């Protein structure tokens, strides 16, 4: 019997959302959509649905590290995405990944607030700004970029400022700033009125999967934006789908 061999998987490090609209479940679905095999490390068990977020139950660093270690015993990772993580644990995850896999490509999707409005963090932006250099690409929405002071990019890493929160009602424009480049690459798409839970998680996961396939960041973002059009156009309630 022939077995099709697939390349090393890509990794999602994020929270568990029971609605599967965000977090590791959404990431794995996005990876599969791109025909890339994904594995996941859970950072929190959340109490939520697509309409309401009650609270996160954060996992301690030792439990997260044990998940990373046992996966690394049989697989190596060249690509990883980090989503919802408790602030005190975030730097530890970055350092672990960079020590274990020095050349790993990391996308960090900084999540300040759930789509339902729940705020995860109350700290000063400096706490997160010092972590920018660990990531290859950071994917904040506009309020998150403003909080981090990177609406016009960063010298430490590439930044994709997602335009879903802009005031333009006819189009959504995402801006990719490469390190030390003042002129962004623009990705424009038709704005669709539907609100979708976990859209930021899904987009960053798609970008990671497409980058793992194409090794070209601009192409990865462009392909991912096309998939997000379907995500916004199809679904039930606040849950979008990629088919």
Residue 160 has pLDDT above 80, yes or no: yes
User: What sign results for the dihedral spanned by CA atoms 92, 94, 95, 97?
Assistant: positive
User: What sign results for the dihedral spanned by CA atoms 193, 194, 200, 206?
Assistant: negative
Residue 81 has pLDDT above 70, yes or no: yes
Chain segment 218-242, per-residue pLDDT in tens: 999 999 999 999 999 999 889 999 9
The token pair that represents 50 in the structure block? 């697509």
The pLDDT value given to residue 124:
66
The token pair that represents 233 in the structure block? 């156009």
Chain segment 29-76, per-residue pLDDT in tens: 999 999 999 999 999 999 999 998 888 899 999 999 999 999 999 999
The percentage of residues in the chain with a pLDDT greater than 70, rounded to a whole number, is 90
Q: What is the mean pLDDT of residues 157-184?
A: 82
Task: For strands 105-108 and 79-82, give the pairing.
Answer: parallel
Domains detected in the chain: 10-139+195-240 (3.40.1190.20)
Chain segment 194-219, per-residue pLDDT in tens: 789 999 999 999 999 999 999 999 99
pTM: 0.93
Chain segment 108-119, per-residue pLDDT in tens: 999 877 665 556
């Amino acid at each position: 019997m022939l077995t099709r061999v697939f390349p090393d998987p890509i990794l999602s490090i994020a929270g568990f959302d029971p609605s599967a609209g965000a977090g590791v479940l959404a990431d794995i679905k996005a990876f599969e959509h791109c025909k890339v095999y994904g594995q996941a490390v859970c950072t929190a068990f959340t109490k939520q649905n697509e309409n309401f977020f009650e609270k996160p139950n954060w996992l301690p660093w030792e439990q997260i590290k044990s998940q990373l270690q046992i996966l690394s015993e049989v697989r190596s990772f060249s690509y990883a995405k980090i989503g919802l993580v408790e602030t005190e644990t975030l730097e530890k995850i970055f350092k672990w990944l960079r020590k274990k896999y020095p050349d790993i490509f990391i996308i960090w999707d900084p999540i300040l607030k759930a789509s339902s409005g729940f705020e995860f963090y109350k700290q000063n932006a400096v706490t997160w700004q010092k972590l920018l250099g660990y990531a290859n690409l950071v994917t904040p929405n506009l309020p998150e970029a403003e909080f981090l002071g990177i609406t016009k990019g960063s010298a430490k890493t590439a930044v994709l400022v997602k335009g879903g929160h802009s005031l333009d009602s006819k189009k959504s424009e995402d801006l990719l700033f490469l390190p030390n480049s003042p002129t962004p690459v623009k990705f424009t798409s038709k704005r669709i009125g539907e609100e979708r839970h976990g859209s930021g998680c899904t987009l960053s996961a798609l970008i990671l999967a497409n980058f793992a396939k194409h090794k070209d960041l601009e192409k990865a973002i462009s392909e991912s934006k096309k998939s997000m059009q379907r995500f916004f156009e199809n679904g039930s309630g606040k849950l979008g789908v990629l088919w």
